[in-house]
A and B are shown apart, each in its own frame.
Chain A
Amino acid sequence: MAARPASSAISCTRRELLAACAILASGSALAAEPEVFTFDTLYKSIGVMGIVYSDRLVAAKGNEISLTGYMAPPLKAESTFFVLTREPMAICPFCQSDADWPIDIIVVYLAAMSPLVGAGTKVRVTGRIEIGSWTDPETGFVSQLRLRDADYRRV
Chain B
Amino acid sequence: MLRISLAAFLATTALVLPAAAQTIYPLNRAEILAGAKFDFKVEFPGSPAEADVKVTIDGEDAAKVLGGKVTFVQKEDGQDYSAYYLRDVAMAKAGNVVVEAKAGDKTSSVTWDVFDTPKGRLAKNVILFIGDGMSVTDRTAARILSKGLVEGRYGGELEIDDMPYMALVSTSGTDSVVTDSANSMSAYTTGHKSCVNALGVYCAKNKKNLEHPKVETIAELVKRKLGLAVGIVTNSEIEDATPAGVVSHTRKRSDFNDIVKMYYNIEADIMMGGGSPNFLPKATPGSKRTDEENFFEKFKAKGYAVATTATEMRAAFAEGKTKVLGIYNTGNVDGAYDLKFKKGTTDKFPDQPGLVEETKLTIDALSKNPNGFFLMVESARIDKYKHSLDWERGVYDTILLDYAVKVAKEFAAKNNDTLIIVVPDHAHMVGIIGSYVDSRPGNTPRDKLGVYADSTVPQYKPDADGYPESVDLPVRLAYAFGTYPDHCFDAKPHLDGEFVPAVAGAEKGTFVANDKYCTPGSVKITGNLPLDANSGVHAADDVVLTAMGPGADVFHGHIDNTRVFRAMATAFGLAKL
> Which A residues lie at the B interface, using CB under 8 A?
2, 4-5, 45-53, 72-74, 77, 87-92, 95, 97-103, 117-120, 131-133, 135, 140, 142, 144-145
Contact = CB atoms under 8 A, between A and B. Distances in A.
Contact of B504 (A47, A52, A73, A135): A73
B330 interface: yes
Given A117-B506, A133-B283, 10 more contacts: A50-B276, A51-B285, A73-B504, A90-B388, A90-B500, A90-B503, A90-B514, A90-B534, A133-B282, A135-B290
B285 A120 contact: no
A95 B505 CA distance: 13
B327 A77 contact: no
22 contacts: A45-B348, A46-B348, A48-B328, A50-B285, A52-B285, A53-B285, A73-B509, A74-B508, A88-B503, A88-B504, A90-B501, A90-B511, A92-B504, A92-B511, A97-B252, A100-B256, A103-B286, A103-B330, A119-B504, A119-B506, A120-B506, A120-B512
A155 to B, nearest CB: 14
B385 to A, nearest CB: 13
B330 to A, nearest CB: 5
Pick the most buried of B254, B287, B506, B511: most chain A CB atoms within 10 A of its CB.
B506
Contacts of A89: 503-504
A72 B210 CA distance: 30
Nearest to A101: B288
Given A2-B508, A95-B509, A97-B254, A48 B329 contact: yes
Interface residues of B, number: 45
Contacts of A140: 290
B331 interface: yes
Contacts of B500: 87-88, 90
Contacts of B329: 48
A145 B285 CA distance: 9
A92 B512 contact: no
Given A49-B308, A103-B288, A133-B287, A92 B330 contact: no
A118 B509 CA distance: 11
Contacts of A95: 508-509, 532
B504 A72 contact: yes
Contacts of B535: 90
B253 A51 contact: no
A71 B322 CA distance: 45
Contacts of B330: 46-48, 103
B349 interface: yes
Contacts of A91: 534
